[in-house]
């Protein structure tokens, strides 16, 4: 659960994140929340939402984070955007990933819902809740963590992931930004995940002939 709150000491709005009621007694999710705070606090970058503090009150953990006034990229995609509007968002998102990767952190759940765009067009990548250190590897084989529509094939198979998984997810986000449709769709999360493993998406220009050739090359390179 994420709330908009007021920091009464520093006189600023903040985002306050807590575990939902059904997860508050779950030690694994509690550790995940703490790890998110730890990793995000190490990422000092203009295009990554800042972590301010971790509070513990009556056995509950709260993450105090930068509040971003604006829309998610998903909301922005509901209205048509031209190339000049898209490219700055794309570049900023890429720079956020570079900053995380330079710290050895893989996001593992990049998607339009986790990218905020403020009122000035500045991008903030958020929610490093399932991010992992590259050195830490991954969960045991078979673990299914992430969002199937934006999940790299090795991630869908529960294999160890590195920076390339984020690059693949970034390519899927770009694909949807420029075509208006996801690269893969299906009736169930599992069917979508299997398509990432078994299939190659059609070139974006098949959906929209106006997609510039250099942009298409970048998208296909990511994928």
Q: Can you tell me which residue has the tokens 């970034």?
A: 170
Which two structure tokens, joined as six digits, stand for 91?
């570049």
As a whole number of angstroms, the distance between CA 111 and CA 149 comes to 9
Pick the catalytic residue from 109, 118, 166, 187: 109
**Residue showing tokens 């098949």:** 206
DSSP 8-state assignment for residue 51:
E
H or E segment and range at residue 18 = strand 12-18
> DSSP assignment, residue 203?
P
Would you call 54 helix, strand, or coil by DSSP? strand
Residue 109: active-site member:
yes
How does DSSP classify residue 201? P
Angle of helix 83-102 versus helix 163-179 axis, rounded to 10:
170
Contact 130, 32 (CB under 8 A): yes
Residues classed as catalytic:
109
């Amino acid at each position: 659960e994420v709330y908009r709150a007021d920091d009464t000491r520093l006189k600023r709005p903040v985002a306050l994140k807590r575990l939902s009621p059904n997860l508050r007694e779950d030690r694994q999710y509690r550790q995940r929340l703490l790890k998110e705070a730890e990793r995000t606090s190490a990422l000092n970058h203009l295009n990554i939402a800042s972590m301010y503090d971790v509070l513990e009150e009556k056995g509950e953990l709260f993450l105090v984070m930068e509040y971003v006034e604006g829309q998610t990229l998903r909301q922005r995609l509901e209205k048509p955007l031209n190339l000049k509007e898209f490219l700055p968002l794309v570049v900023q998102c890429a720079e956020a990933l570079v900053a995380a990767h330079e710290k050895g952190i893989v996001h593992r759940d990049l998607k339009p819902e986790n990218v905020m765009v403020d009122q000035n067009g500045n991008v903030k990548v958020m929610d490093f809740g399932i991010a992992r250190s590259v050195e830490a590897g991954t969960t045991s084989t078979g673990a299914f963590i992430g969002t199937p529509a934006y999940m790299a094939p090795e991630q869908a198979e529960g294999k160890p992931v590195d920076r390339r998984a984020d690059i693949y997810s970034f390519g899927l986000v770009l694909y949807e930004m420029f075509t208006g449709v996801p690269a893969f769709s299906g009736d169930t999360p599992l069917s979508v995940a299997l398509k990432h493993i078994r299939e190659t998406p059609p070139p974006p220009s098949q959906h929209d002939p106006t997609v510039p050739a250099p942009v298409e090359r970048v998208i296909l390179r990511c994928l």
